Amino acid sequence: MIRVVIADDEAPAREKIARWLSEQPDISVVAAAEDGLAAAQAIAKEQPDVAFLDVQMPALSGLQVAAQLDAATAPLIVFVTAFDEHAVRAFDLNAVDYLLKPYDQERLLRTLERVRSRVAAHDVGTAAVAVGRAQAPPCERLLVPDGERLHLLDAATVDWLEADDNYVHVHTASRRYMLRRTLMDLLAQLGEERFVRIHRSAAVNIGAIGSLTPLFKGDHELHLRNGTTLRLSRRYRDAFFARMGQ
């Protein structure tokens, strides 16, 4: 049985695709979501084989949901949209398919044939996730685990990022979250405008920086507005000061 999550902020669209999918004997719709956050939570909980993601949804777009999935467990992704400009971009996407609204049942059946072929080949959604990360605009809101749920964290409130093998500790003024991501991957998602690398294992929000203290042999102490002190290593010093306009 192929397990499916549907995410669309329009109830008629969700109901239509759920109805058509329910007619397929090998398809089971395990969850439906009306925004990007609910979609991410449903995917994390249900671990589906396939996710139909509307490109434009509240909270997080379909691309942003795909970009924040764990590549090791990501489902196959089918993007859905009503806008032609996204259809053009579809040619660059490595998602399993791309449905342009309004689509008919025959078109959906062709999508399902592609899905079945990929599932039969034991393919996973890693490629779509990677493409989603590359295609998505800088992320303004970050999905972080908060107990058994996922929490939307405003990227502007993140003070600094700390690499820990295949995990990243996301530090805010009041809490620390842990994501199963690499620092390089997360920085690519957040964009280069807001964060700057200061060490092999750390990056800082430019807006969180308060002052700098020169140290011996070219290193610096970097003091954040929240009182945290970090090390700016020589390796990243020149790039850091270039970003600061020095």
pLDDT tens profile 141-195: 888 988 888 888 999 999 999 999 889 999 999 999 999 888 988 898 887 789 9
Looking at domain 141-244, its CATH superfamily turns out to be: LytTr DNA-binding domain (2.40.50.1020)
Which token pair is 224? 């954040």
- Span 32-53, average pLDDT: 94
| CB crowding 218-236: b at 16 or more within 10 Å, else e | ebbebbbeeeeebebbeeb
pTM of the model: 0.75
Q: Where are the alpha helices (DSSP H) in 84-233?
A: 84-90, 105-120, 126-135, 183-190
> What is the topology classification, in CATH, of domain 2-124?
Rossmann fold (3.40.50)
Dihedral over alpha carbons 173, 176, 182, 187 (to 10 degrees) = -20
| CB crowding 26-62: b at 16 or more within 10 Å, else e | ebebbbbbbbbbbbbbbbbeeebbbbbbbbbbebbbb
Q: Which of 9-13, 73-77, 123-127 has the lowest mean pLDDT?
A: 123-127
* Domain-wise residue ranges, the chain: 2-124, 141-244
Same fold, 2-124 and 141-244: no
